[in-house]
Amino acid sequence: MWAFCIGALVIISITHWLYSWRNPRCKGKLPPGSMGLPLLGESLQFFSPNTSSDVPPFIKKRTDRHGPIFRTNLVGRPVVISTDPDLNYFVFQQEGHLFQSWYPETFTQIFGRQNVGSLHGFMYKYLKNMVLNLFGPESLKKMLPEVEKAATRGLHRWSCQDAVELKDATASMIFDLTAKKLISYEADNSSENLRENFVAFIQGLISFPLDIPGTAYHKCLQGRKRAMGMLKRMLQERRAMPRKQQSDFFDYVLEELKKDGTILTEEIALDLMFVLLFASFETTSLALTLAIKFLSDHPLVLKQLTEEHEAILNNRENADSGLTWKEYKSMTFTFQFINETVRLANIVPGIFRKALRDIQFKGYTIPAGWAVMVCPPAVHLNPAKYEDPLAFNPWRWEGVELNGASKHFMAFGGGMRFCVGTEFTKVQMAVFLHCLVTKYRWQTIKGGNIVRTPGLQFPNGFHIQLCKKDTRKQDTTLHNQS
C-alpha cells in the first residue's frame, strides 16, 4: 500500500513538473511556441547543422507556424525569439531600462563572468571607452599603414604557395596584427603559440554545451584556460618589468590598474583582452573568406570593385605610396560590397537580452527574467525589405547611409551595444580587398561550402591559388576552378 502511494506521488509530481515545463507561469499571454523536452528544451534542433543561406530552418519553421514572435527553451532557459523589426528595435532602445545584455551560462563560462558583454551600466561604458581608445577613428588613422603592411605581407607570402586555405590564413594575419597592438605579441618571437588556443576555443564556441572530454565544448573550455594562462603570465611579466613609454593596450590597462580608486580589476582586464583577441579576428576572417567567395562567383562585382581600387592608384602622384584615410573613406562601392557581404554572412545568429520586468508587446507578455533573442538572419533576409534577399547584390546599397544599426540592418549589433570594433573590421576588409584586387588574381582550388551550427563555418575550408598580376591594367575577370 505504501509503495502504491509513493509511486502515485512520484507520478503526480512528474506530471505536474512536465505540465509546468510546457506551460510556464505568466501574468498575461505568452507568445505561442513550444518549450520542447524537459531540461533540453529545443536545443538539439537549434544547434542542428544546416547548409542553407536562408533564415535558419529552426527559425523559419517556427515563424511559419507561430508568427514573428515565439517562445522556446534553449539549454534550459526560456527564450522569446523575435524576427519582428518593431520588437527588435524596442529591445535595443530599452536596454538598461526594460532589458539588459544577457548570454547563456555556457557563453559566460567561455568568455568569462567579467567579460564586457556581461557587464552593465557605468562599468560597461568605462570598458567601452577603453576599447575606443584602441579602435576609435583617430587610432585607426594611425593604424592604417600597419593594416596595409600586414595585408601586403600576407598576400605576398600566400602567392608563393601552391594553395592557401583562406579562412585560416586571414585569421592568422588579423590575429598577428591585433595581438601586436594589444599585447606586443609576435608569434615568431614567442615560445608559446597563443592563436592555437583560440583555434580550439573557436571549434566549440557555438556547440552543444556538454563539458565531457572529447566534445567540442570541452576543447573550447580547455582552449580558454590555456589562453587565459598565457595572458595572465604576460600581464605579470609586464608588471614586473614595466615599460617607460606606453606602446600597447597592455600598457594602457596597467596604467588604469595603478590608479587610485580604479574600478578596473585584473580579472576584468584579462577577460577584456581575451574577448578583444577573439572578436577582432574570428568574425572578420569569416567575413573576408565569404567576401572572396562572392567575388569568385560574381565577376561583374569583382570588375567594379577592381575599377574603384585601380582608380585610387591612378589618381595618386606616386602609385606606390601607401593608402591614406581620405582614400579609404572614398571607397564607396567597397562599403556597399562589405554591407552586402555581412548582410548575407549572418555571422552572429542571435543577439540576446534579458527582460528586467514583465513587458507587454503586441498583445504578448514577456515575463521578467526571460531571455529575448533578436534574430539578425531573419532581419537581413526579409523579402519585405530586401528584394530577392538571397541574391548577392552590392548595388542595393547604393545611396544608403549607414551610421549604425537600424531596424533592418544589425550585422554589428544594435542599440547602445553597437560593436565598437565595427570601423576596425571595415578598415581591415577594405584594405585587404584593395591590396588583393589591385595586385593579385586567384582561382578556387576546393572547398567554399558553408555550414551553420548555427554560426557560420567553412567545414572544408576555402582553398585558393593566388598569383601576382603581370600588369595593373590587365583584364580582371578571373576564371575559377571548382
How do residues 101-136 score in pLDDT, each as one tens digit?
A: 887 766 777 766 666 555 556 566 767 777 777 777
Spatial separation of the C-alpha atoms in residues 79 and 91, rounded to whole Å = 14
Runs of H (alpha helix) within 23-136: 43-47, 57-66, 85-93, 105-111, 121-135
> What average pLDDT does the segment 406-433 reach?
84
Give the residue with greater pLDDT, 468 vs 251: 468
Per-residue burial over 134-165, b = 16 or more CB atoms within 10 Å of its CB, e = otherwise: bbeeeebeebbeebbebbbebbeebbeeebbb
**pLDDT of residue 16 exceeding 50:** no
CB atoms within 10 A of CB 123: 15
Residue 478 pLDDT = 41
CATH class in words for 28-113+350-380: alpha beta
> Is residue 30 within 8 Å of residue 364, measured between CB atoms?
yes
pTM reported for the whole predicted model: 0.88
Spatial separation of the C-alpha atoms in residues 182 and 277, rounded to whole Å = 8
Q: Which position has the grid cell 586571414?
A: 170
The number of C-alpha atoms within 13 Å of 156 and in the hemisphere containing its C-beta is 6
Per-residue model confidence as pLDDT tens digits over 302-340: 999 999 999 999 998 887 788 999 999 999 999 999 999
Strand residues in 184-257 grouped as ranges (E): none
> What average pLDDT does the segment 10-15 reach?
57
**pLDDT of residue 56 exceeding 80:** yes
> What average pLDDT does the segment 159-168 reach?
94
CA 374 to mean position of chain CA atoms: 14
Residue 116 pLDDT = 53
> What average pLDDT does the segment 181-204 reach?
71
Confidence of residue 161 (pLDDT cuts 50, 70, 90): very high
Any idea which of 182-196, 328-342, 358-372 has the lowest mean pLDDT?
182-196
> Is residue 390 within 8 Å of residue 397, measured between CB atoms?
no
Q: What would the grid cell of residue 36 be?
A: 520542447
Confidence of residue 162 (pLDDT cuts 50, 70, 90): very high
Residue 481 pLDDT = 37
**Of all residues in the chain, what percent carry a pLDDT higher than 90?**
43
Torsion angle defined by CA atoms of residues 118, 123, 127 and 128, in that order, rounded to the nearest 10 degrees: 80
> What average pLDDT does the segment 92-97 reach?
87
Alpha-carbon separation of residue 193 from 83, 178, 226 (angstroms) = 41, 15, 10
CA 204 to mean position of chain CA atoms: 14
Confidence of residue 202 (pLDDT cuts 50, 70, 90): low
Spatial separation of the C-alpha atoms in residues 317 and 85, rounded to whole Å = 48
Calculate the average pLDDT of the chain: 84
Residue 1 pLDDT = 63
**pLDDT of residue 342 exceeding 90:** yes
Q: Residue 370 carries which DSSP code?
A: -
Residue 482 pLDDT = 35
Give the residue with greater pLDDT, 38 vs 417: 38
Confidence of residue 190 (pLDDT cuts 50, 70, 90): low
Q: Where are the domains of the chain?
A: 28-113+350-380
**pLDDT of residue 148 exceeding 60:** yes
